[in-house]
Amino acid sequence: MKTIATGLLGLLVLSGAAQADVFVSRDAKGGYVLSNVHRPGRHYEKVIREPAAAVVSLDQQPQMIAAQPYAELVSAAATANELPAALLHAVIKTESAYNPSALSPKGAGGLMQLMPETAREMGVTNVYDPKANIQGGARYLKRLMTMFDNDIRLAVAAYNAGPQAVLSRGNVVPPFAETQRYVPSVLNQYRRLQGLSADAPL
């Protein structure tokens, strides 16, 4: 009976069906009862606490992505390059905060902050054109994902610091202060849009 109850509890937690505390108690026959309601007078064997920052449910996740700026352009670029739309949004949010006119001190421009050389390689003639910029940035990110065997963390680090900075250090995130801030920022945004907890593996 305990095994069955444990399995049911596991399904509840994994499914994300209940975004609330889960109480486990025994009934009069010794069986386990799962509930998200604390009933006065009942002894509870175990309480599974809801995380302080509730994870976005799976049914909310598509709506969250669709509500982001440039959602249609991002969706098209994500589909064309076989990337999660949430990842492109996370990069755009961190790079430019969705400002198509953004220009960095180093010369990177547009929504995905393409450097002039990268823009040329990706066939982007006007980095301030949102569609062209997103398509070019997505192509570049896809190249990095392929280069780093779909390791999102390393691909994101390479997007910021350049692939050579990652490769030359044996495929680790470079110790640059900017990159050390950048990678968690992108990954946190990505997890949020994917409906994942802050510490969920990627």
Would you give the DSSP letter of residue 7?
H
Would you give the DSSP letter of residue 160?
H
Annotated active-site residue 95? The verdict is yes
Backbone angles phi, psi at 124, to 5 degrees: -100, 115
Backbone angles phi, psi at 91, to 5 degrees: -65, -45
Whole-angstrom distance, CA of residue 110 vs CA of residue 92: 9
Whole-angstrom distance, CA of residue 176 vs CA of residue 165: 10
CB within 8 Å of 64: residues ≥ 6 apart? 56, 193, 195
Kindly name the residue from 50, 82, 95, 121 that is annotated as catalytic: 95
Tokens 């692939």 correspond to what residue? 163
Catalytically annotated residues: 95
